[in-house]
Amino acid sequence: MTQSAHRKHNTVGFVGLGVMGSRMIRNIKGYADLLVFDVDTARAEEAASAAGGKAVKGLAELAGADVVVLMLPSSTIVDEVVRGGPKGKGLLDLLSSGATIIDMSSATPANTIENARQAKAKGISYLDAPVSGGPSGAAAGTLAIMVGGSVEDFEHARPLLERMGTNVILAGETGSGHAVKALNNLLGAVVLAASSEIFAAGEKFGLDPSVMHKIVNASSGGSFMTNVTWPRAILPKTYDFGFTLQLMNKDVGIAMSLIESTGVQTRLAKLGAEMWGETMKDAPAGVDMTEITRRIMKEAGL
């Protein structure tokens, strides 16, 4: 059955139009009436134009939406948008009972669970649905989307989510999406740091990085980082993959807090998290996550 046959939403609101959000909404074009909001009004206008939607000036204009998607940089901002704060009412005060909030940001599971609890009290469904796949996946609509929430709410949101991703998976109850996203990014962060050290050693030995890259990807050491990140941003030495060091370090921190709450003892993950924290301390604002590779190469004299 086609996505249009499954269509359940008349109006979709989208809040947060950064590197990911501005690309993701283009894949919603034609699915429903689209209302777009960002604190950067120029960015909102540009994104709305590209997606065939309407830019609104505030959250209040989203009051009639059936579903509101959030793609925001931190749990603190998500909480303010959802619950309200000094700047005004939040979505829980504005949306009608029966509406759905889908938080596709990378947020803290505990905050997500509390947001969902408050939403349920007002008859509003709440899903956490963070993504993986980077800016290119956002643009192509091929993101992996990991969802936390009830089966019923997941099925209700699936047609919309499938516009933005090709691997849409229910991870478990509320908070599960944000938990697995943080753990996945921690794993990716450790892999990127480890591969950077290995490639630095290979180059110092005299191996051609491009040749080494082909061999690693055809062998047991291959990964998303070597398959995608290295050829796009590291081998050409542009260091511009499109995901900031700050955001990766944030996800690493969320994951480590989650791990600590489970009582699981980790060695590699802990050391990897320390490396990312150290890189963050010395890095310029807004620098790409591949700054960790640049730093490792520089320390190796490359």
| Contact criterion met (CB below 8 Å) for 127 and 101 | yes
Q: Residue 66 carries which DSSP code? A: S
Q: Where are the alpha helices (DSSP H) in 142-244?
A: 151-164, 176-205, 209-217, 224
Give dist(CA 190, CA 275) in Å, integer.
9
Give dist(CA 166, CA 171) in Å, integer.
15
- Residue located via tokens 């889908």: 102
* Tokens standing for residue 82: 């959802």
- What phi-psi label fits residue 222: left (phi over 0), alpha (psi between -120 and 50 degrees) or beta? beta
What is the rounded (10 degree) CA torsion for 190, 191, 194, 199?
Answer: -150
Burial class (CB in 10 A: 0-12, 13-18, 19+), 239: middle
- Residue located via tokens 């699936």: 158
Q: Which residues are catalytic?
A: 181
SS3 29: coil
Residues with Cβ < 8 Å from 231, sequence gap 6 or more? 213
| Contact criterion met (CB below 8 Å) for 134 and 243 | yes
Give dist(CA 30, CA 152) in Å, integer.
24
Give dist(CA 112, CA 175) in Å, integer.
6
